[in-house]
Structure 1
């Protein structure tokens, strides 16, 4: 009886979505041509995912929906975009709507495409980079619009939730350093697409 209870509890712990853990019915669209979205140009077969706004618009759509409701850009399979000097495959809007920004996911173990201090710092911490935006509709690499607020789980901007973490002083120092390196970078004009070798 105790074992069964433990298994039941384990099954409940795996879901962290406050909206419930049923199947995700968010509408999505696969681009059919090179597409301009959130100040980026994404290749054909990239997946654009949107907030669920209408119960009639669920799952796969056959035309792009309102860009204001975009929550995720996942580049076409085996492709990455050079963004901030690193090959990036996914941009995911912050779940908490109080924060305007996204997380950029770079290719794990990839060398920087552009060797600068910013890209080296990003590579040194994690594959995920949290970016707070002044203009939440501009996901381009535009340092004047950006503040780096996190890099992976262990490096996060100080808040009431992590003020007691033992390594928070180091995280603060890292974020100051990466934001200083960010502000030395120019606004990126082109976003080359690279083909990733499938393993």
Structure 2
């Protein structure tokens, strides 16, 4: 019986190490993704963004944290406008755009600030969007264009967790 004790301790140590190391960043911290804060208005993914916009990118070998220059748009994951600012996306004021986490899906989620949409600017589109959530999931044809280009939009993938396009035959969905 004593022969197996070191072996069982070794197995327990290995299993604890495997489970304990599931999060490579350690604990509850998140990776220090590379990001750039725009120093002037510029075009990003065919969208004009104001000075102070934070552009966040995929993890990159030996590159993390704040960068002193804009990186490749191919690696872009998030456009976050400065606090309190929005851009017009399809007639709706939006403050943030996130690329879908699932790399097999081509698209992004757009986050609206409906408090900045005046009553005279409301449309059927903005009302439908607002009725389900502040975020809208969009699938696209060309990943280089995140603008409200109807020719590039393949589908509205979701409007919050309430309306998902997994059930395209369901009229309500």
The TM-score, its normalising length taken from structure 1, stands at 0.68
Paired residues of 2:39 and 2:51 also in contact (CA < 8 A): yes
Q: Provide closer, same or farther for how the CA distance between residues 86 and 19 of structure 1 changes in structure 2, counting only shifts above 3 A.
A: farther
Greater C-alpha radius of gyration: 2
The number of residues matched between the two structures is 148
Distance across 1 between alignment mates of 2:149 and 2:34: 28
SS at match of 1:61: coil
Greater RCO structure (CA 8 Å; 6+ sep)? 1
Matched, 1:153 2:161: yes
* Residues 93, 114 of structure 2: 8 Å contact kept: no
Q: RMSD across aligned C-alpha pairs, in angstroms?
A: 2.3
Partner of 1:79: 85
Q: Residue by residue, what CA displacement relative to the aligned partner does 1:46-80 show, whole Å, maximum 9, x if unpaired? A: 0000001212x101111111111000000112100
- Is structure 2 residue 111 aligned with structure 1 residue 102? no
Per-residue deviation, 1:19? 7.0
1:128 maps to 2:135: yes
**1:37 corresponding residue in structure 2:** 44
Structure 2 gaps of 5+ residues are: 1-21
Provide the rounded CA distance (Å) in 2 between the counterparts of 1:122 and 1:18. 36
